[in-house]
Structure 1
Amino acid sequence: MARAKSDTRARAQAVAKELFLQQGVRRTSLQDIADRLGITKPALYYHFSSRDELVRSIVQPLIEDGDAFVAAAEARPDADPRAVLEGYFDFQFAHREVVSLLIGELVALADLGLVGRVLDWRTRLSALLVGEDPPLSAATRATIALGGLADCVLVFADEPVEEVRAAAVDAALDTLGR
């Protein structure tokens, strides 16, 4: 029985993610998700008490992995910028569908308190790349490097990932002046 519950939960998350990416979070109802799954809305409520809970369950792995990545990067003394940027690219790539959802549904996800966490990671990673309290020029370069690297994951999704990774990390390092 627990396996069936887990399978339905995972299928609901997959269907919801697909619909959220197609229609948007606010335009996708729990009824839409239940219909696509071929279950009743009350059956879906058995797994998720609300659409917000379902959204959080989809975004939670990104949050957990992001927190772990940033903490691990901060724990390395004298973190190598290339290693930080490569790790950030790999993290973004592993979660590219959810990152795409975050970008497309920024307002809806901000209302759930999920966007602030992502911005916090950027601030902390910037400090690793350009130090605490950098001049505006350095802080701007770090923001462009991290944002551009993340964008490359989405913009060049059909290109070979290793080529995109190498080009994006090199461009980010160039942006940082390294």
Structure 2
Amino acid sequence: MPRQSDTKQRIMQTARELFARQGVRQTSLQEIADRLGITKPALYYHFASREDLVRSIVTPLLEDGERFLSGIEQRAGVTPREVLEGFFDFHYRHRRDMLLLLTEMTTLTELGLIDVVLAWRGRLTRVVVGPDATLRQQVSAVLAFGGMQDCTMQFPDAPYDELRAWTVAAACDALGIAAP
């Protein structure tokens, strides 16, 4: 018999796959249970609702993102390039779940998760261009961070090192930062 945590992880993995293919609202808990060969009550033992299941999938991403941001904000003398590299690494690590976030904006807005992600962008912008940034600098930061996020998903088969180098260089260009 599988351990409880194994079953929970299997449920989350199956839900990720179905959510990505069909959407959160179009995927029933019964469908997830059927795919796994478990009963719906067994699924409810681990997750009280579809929203609870979605939260369990995106919570590790949110926690990791908060650790990254807090760490950057607390470091003295962090360079914009270090922020960009860390941002790329974070998004590359979580690209599957970020895709879920982007494709399920309505569901995630209802769960209050979009506000968290938008607040991160503001915090990152303040770190990279300062608290008194001009509108032009803020727009450049939005383009840089949004473009970096997109690159981690747009090029899933690109070699990591090459994709990271080109993505960070392009973000530096967008921000007017000299790339090494």
TM-score range (shorter-chain normalised) is: over 0.9
1:96-150 deviations in Å (ceiling 9; x for gaps)? 0000001111111111111111111111001011111311000000110100011
Q: Hey, what's the Cα distance between the residues in 2 that align with 1:90 and 1:106? A: 23
Q: Hey, what's the Cα distance between the residues in 1 that align with 2:110 and 2:80? A: 33
Q: What is the one-letter code of the residue matched to 1:144? A: L
Q: Hey, what's the Cα distance between the residues in 2 that align with 1:78 and 1:151? A: 27
Partner residue of 2:115?
116
Counterpart check, 1:48 vs 2:43: no
Query: Which runs of structure 2 are paired with 1:1-178 in the superposition (5 Å)?
Result: 4-178=3-177
Deviation at 1:78, TM superposition (A): 2.4
Deviation at 1:160, TM superposition (A): 0.5
| Deviation >2 Å, runs of 4+ | none
Question: Paired residues, what number?
Answer: 177
Q: What is the one-letter code of the residue matched to 1:93? A: Y
Q: What is the one-letter code of the residue matched to 1:94? A: R
Q: Hey, what's the Cα distance between the residues in 1 that align with 2:112 and 2:34? A: 28
Q: Hey, what's the Cα distance between the residues in 1 that align with 2:40 and 2:152? A: 35
Q: Percent identity?
A: 54
Q: Which runs of 5+ in 1 are unaligned?
A: none
CA RMSD of aligned residues (A): 1.0
Q: Hey, what's the Cα distance between the residues in 2 that align with 1:162 and 1:32? A: 38
